[in-house]
């Protein structure tokens, strides 16, 4: 049975973390990573409570703030009021700490029931995002935003260069990590219970990467074969480059491009652990980097920068960091990237444009605009991955072929 008592040191760790996230605009993932290293005596249950509570309070920031009546000012006193709302709604027994004196338990529950009638509070989102969601997705927005407010599952991608799904499942079980096989995802395993998998021998030996099930659909969509020249145009830390390498059985060449050299450094490190040796990293220093590769690629993957709305499950603070002007700007960047990198594909080659967004304006509308101005390309297929239908991240992929 779950322990429903609150422990002082853990509660304070949460409050300290929220100060940094809400008042100093720090990224929740970085804050969680740092706080978990604070006390060596914390066991796995303590760490789980801290991490999950921080994410919960970030995810439901607007709802809890509305119930607590704290007007969006995150002083220490107000953070405790928000924490009290969390504790009451989650069924914790409130201890007799001074921070909880006069907590209006019945009022909290009543206010919660009342606010569930209005989506912007029920799903804890800014007004502008709610309005945009409705204009982009209509009635579907209701289901999608609800799905995106659930906790993300932990999915592993089996590195087929070193092992297979059945063997990895058995090896992980030997290390106390229970997984289940996902049908329709050839190389995915889902954790039955959340655990820190990065300390396992299987991870250290490069037998898997942590990668959401939806994200695992992108590399296969590119239709690669060993021996091809493939360009991963916005490679980042290279999750999809590594997947492409395993699909190509380490044969051929993958050129991983990115404007951030530090991300490519991380890709090199991961490639070594994965036993991948057909990936070459090239930081984009200027337009020459791109020009040199013109018309040379069999396949180009554009995993474009986007609003990231499809991955809100794992980045709940994006709801509060995202601004309407950023969204307008990112659409211009997407169009420019498609324009520039489409030139790298040789005639007869293929291109995938992908985002982790669920909004048509970042997805199919971008592809339509591009095709209208580029008769040398033809549309092959597209795939829209819905968080509501799959339970995983939201993604979009379009496959285009260069015909002239």
Q: How far apart are the first and last CA of the chain?
A: 64
Residue partners of 163: CB distance under 8 A and separation at least 6: 171, 202, 207, 208
Compute how many other C-beta atoms are within 10 angstroms of the C-beta atom of residue 335.
Answer: 15
234 has catalytic annotation? no
Q: Using alpha carbons only, give the angle 308, 313, 317 rounded to the nearest 5 degrees.
A: 65
- Using DSSP's 3-state secondary structure scheme, residue 384 falls into strand
The whole-angstrom distance between residue 250's C-alpha and the CA centroid of its chain comes to 26
Within 10 angstroms of residue 170's Cβ, the number of other Cβ atoms is: 11
- Among the listed residues 356, 358, 385, 398, the single catalytic one is 356
Distances (CA, A) of 50 to 17, 85, 194, 282: 9, 16, 14, 39
Buried b (16+ CB within 10 A) or exposed e, 35-44: bbeeeeebee
Strand partners of residue 383: 397
Element (H, E) at 21: helix 8-23
Q: From the CB of residue 26, how many other CB atoms can be counted at a distance below 10 Å?
A: 15
Using alpha carbons only, what angle is made at residue 252 by residues 350 and 380, rounded to the nearest 5 degrees? 15
Active site residues: 356
């Amino acid at each position: 049975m779950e322990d429903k008592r609150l422990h002082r040191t853990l509660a304070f760790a949460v409050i300290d973390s929220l100060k940094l996230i809400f008042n100093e605009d720090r990224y929740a993932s970085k804050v969680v990573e740092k706080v978990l290293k604070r006390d060596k005596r914390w066991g796995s249950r303590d760490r789980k409570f801290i991490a999950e509570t921080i994410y919960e309070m970030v995810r439901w920031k607007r709802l809890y703030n509305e119930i607590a009546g704290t007007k969006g000012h995150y002083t220490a006193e107000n953070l405790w009021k928000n924490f009290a709302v969390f504790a009451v709604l989650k069924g914790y027994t409130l201890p007799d700490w001074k921070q909880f004196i006069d907590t209006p338990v019945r009022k909290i529950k009543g206010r919660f029931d009342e606010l569930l009638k209005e989506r912007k509070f029920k799903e804890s989102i800014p007004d502008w995002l709610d309005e945009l969601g409705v204009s982009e997705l209509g009635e579907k927005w209701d289901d999608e935003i609800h799905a995106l407010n659930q906790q993300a599952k932990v999915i592993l991608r089996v590195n087929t260069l070193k092992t297979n799904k059945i063997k990895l499942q058995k090896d992980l079980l030997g290390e106390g990590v229970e997984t289940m096989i996902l049908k329709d995802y050839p190389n995915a395993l889902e954790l039955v219970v959340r655990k820190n998998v990065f300390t396992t021998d299987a991870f250290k030996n490069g037998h898997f990467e942590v990668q959401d099930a939806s994200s695992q659909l992108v590399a296969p969509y590119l239709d690669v074969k060993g021996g091809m020249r493939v360009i991963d145009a916005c490679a980042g830390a290279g999750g999809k480059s590594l997947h492409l390498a395993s699909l190509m059985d380490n044969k051929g060449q993958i050129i991983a491009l990115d404007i951030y050299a530090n991300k490519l450094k991380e890709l090199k490190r991961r490639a070594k652990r994965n036993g991948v040796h057909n990936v070459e990293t090239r930081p984009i220093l200027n337009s020459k980097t791109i020009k040199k590769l013109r018309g040379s690629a069999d396949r180009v993957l554009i995993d474009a920068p986007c609003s990231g709305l499809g991955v809100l499950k794992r980045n709940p603070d994006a709801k509060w960091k995202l601004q309407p002007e950023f969204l307008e700007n990112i659409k211009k960047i997407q169009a420019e990237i498609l324009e520039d990198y489409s030139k790298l594909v040789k005639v007869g080659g293929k291109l995938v444009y992908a985002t982790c967004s669920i909004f048509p304006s970042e997805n199919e509308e971008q592809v339509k605009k591009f095709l209208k101005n580029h008769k040398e390309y033809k549309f092959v297929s597209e795939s829209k991955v819905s968080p509501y239908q799959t339970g995983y991240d939201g993604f979009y992929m379009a496959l285009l072929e260069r015909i002239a």
